[in-house]
């Protein structure tokens, strides 16, 4: 499923985790723990640290790695409606320098501290769960 940039931007409306005050069967803290666990497994399986290191300062290589990360985060939260890496590349190209820097910081926190929650709440991942 091909997604255009306008569709991707229309999805950037609310946090990936819905922390509304309405009662929920799942405690948001438990949701974050499960999300971190899943992302840490994915990061390890996909050799994310090595891929980022190998990408160095090459914008095309970095774009490929970040596209895979965006796809993984949305797969975790949206299942079959996840953003595919090729569509995520379009989103990345539209990020301004500040948003790209924040994305990099969130990825580094996930890799270094095994805490992906700041990345999931980053404006890039403010996706509607459809």
Report the C-alpha gap between 31 and 78 in whole angstroms.
Answer: 14
pLDDT of 42 reads 94
The string of pLDDT tens digits covering residues 22-76 is: 334 445 677 888 888 999 999 999 999 999 999 988 988 989 999 999 888 888 8
pLDDT of 103 reads 84
What's the pTM value of the predicted model, to 2 decimals?
0.69
pLDDT of 122 reads 66
DSSP string computed for 64-126: HHHHHHHHHHHHHHHGGGPPPHHHHHHHHHT--HHHHHHHHHHHHHHHHHS--HHHHTSGGG-
Residue pair 16/116 in contact by the 8 Å Cβ criterion: no
**Domain segments of the chain: what residues?**
5-13+28-125
In the predicted structure, residue 123 carries a pLDDT above the cut 70? no
In the predicted structure, residue 93 carries a pLDDT above the cut 50? yes
b (16+ CB within 10 A) / e for 98-112: eebebbeebbebbbe
């Amino acid at each position: 499923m091909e997604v255009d940039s306008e569709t991707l931007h229309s999805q950037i409306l609310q946090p990936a985790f819905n922390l509304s005050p309405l009662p929920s069967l799942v405690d948001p803290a438990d949701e974050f723990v499960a999300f971190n666990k899943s992302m840490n497994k994915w990061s390890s399986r996909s050799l994310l640290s090595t891929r980022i290191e190998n990408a160095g300062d090459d914008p095309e290589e970095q774009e490929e790695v970040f596209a895979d990360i965006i796809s993984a985060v949305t797969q975790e939260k949206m299942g079959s409606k996840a953003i595919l890496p090729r569509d995520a590349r379009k989103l990345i190209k539209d990020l301004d320098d500040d948003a790209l820097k924040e994305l990099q910081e969130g990825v580094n926190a996930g890799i270094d501290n095994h805490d992906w929650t700041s990345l999931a709440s980053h404006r890039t991942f403010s996706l509607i769960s459809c």
